[in-house]
Amino acid sequence: MIRSMAYLGLTTPNLAEWRGFGSDILGLHRVDDGADGAARFRMDDADCRLWVHPGAQNDIAYIGWILSGEAEVLGLKAAIEAAGPVLMRASTDEAAARSVAGYYWFVDPMGFRHELAWGQYVSPGKFSPGRPMSGFKTGDQGMGHIVLLVPDLHAADRFYRDVMGFHQSDRITDGGRELLFYHCNGRHHSLAIGCPAPGLRGAHHLMLEVNSLDDVGVVVDLCVERDVPISKSIGCHTNDRMVSTYIFSPSVLRIEYGFGGIAIDDLWEPKSYSRTSIWGHKELRPDLPPAMITGN
């Protein structure tokens, strides 16, 4: 089964801006560029968690999920291929480029590329944040969570639960929209989906969790000082209790920068909520694009 979100790849025409944003604002550790010039970032002992590739448009290039080994990946093969996608094995060089021992990949019915990997390379003690901070909460919970915009909410729900094996954490209906949340470890959700309009595809945000509430306050100060747009004010979510703010990244994708998310276990029962936040999370920049829309 999928253990955690291991890494993420983005494409953007704004690569130069991402280099400084990733290290100076988010506090990620920028390491050597990839072969194609991609900016690569470490956030813990893992050799790399985030790749930002040069590209003509802002998009999700791939989402990497970690499993225990190749046998566990192949255990999902029948279900994945019965649903339509074809599971392809990466070459040795392709796996090395992702800093993993190996992976298989497929494109899901919503148009997102998933990489099912094992043996993520780590370098203990090598993480050095791009600015003073407490570090990121990762470990067994992985790098964070991703919120995708899907063309068909219920078809996506069936695929992510019945085929990929995610467990539903809860749902939120707020202002006529429905959001579904899924977990694969103790993090309340590693994946969430919404459908703002039938046929649209994209992503709303990537969440990175820090080890101190002070780091959330510091990132707000940095954004104000350096004219980095803050999408939403600090607030606390109803479902995972994360205290966070939302930052507008150079690739339009929001970065939720948070602290204090709850941990769940196998006894967790899915819940329903009628609002996304207990307090805060007020929209500050309605003039900016509401999400990273990549297709329809």
Q: What pLDDT is attached to residue 194?
A: 96
- Rg (Cα) of the chain, in Å, rounded? 18
Domain 4-295 belongs in CATH node 3.10.180.10: yes
The domain segmentation of the chain, as residue ranges, is 4-295
Q: What is the pLDDT of residue 233?
A: 98
112-135: buried (b, 16+ CB within 10 Å) or exposed (e) per residue?
Answer: bbbbbbbbbeeeeeebebbeebee
Rounded to the nearest 5°, which phi and psi values hold at 276? Answer: -85, -25
DSSP state of 91: P
As a whole number of angstroms, the distance between CA 257 and CA 274 comes to 23
* DSSP secondary structure letters along 235-286: EEETTT--EEEEEE-TTS-EEEEEE---B--TT---EEES-SEEEE--B--T
Q: How many CB atoms lie within 10 A of CB 28?
A: 24
Q: Which amino acid is at 79?
A: A
Contact indicator for 230, 217 with CB cutoff of 8 Å: no
Global pTM exceeds 0.95: yes
d(CA 245, CA 233): 5
Tokens 């940095």 -> residue? 222
CA nearest neighbour of 30 among 130, 123, 125, 114: 130
Q: How far apart are alpha carbons 19 and 231 in whole angstroms?
A: 20
Per residue of the chain (296 residues), what is the pLDDT tens digit? 999 999 999 999 999 999 999 999 999 999 999 999 999 999 999 999 999 999 999 999 999 999 999 999 999 999 999 999 999 999 999 999 999 999 999 999 999 999 999 999 999 999 999 999 999 999 999 999 999 999 999 999 999 999 999 999 999 998 888 999 999 999 999 999 999 888 889 999 999 999 999 999 999 999 999 999 999 999 999 999 999 999 999 999 999 999 999 999 999 999 999 999 999 999 999 999 988 988 76
Q: What is the DSSP letter of 134?
A: -
So what's the pLDDT on residue 186?
98
- Per-residue confidence (pLDDT) for residue 296, from 0 to 100: 67
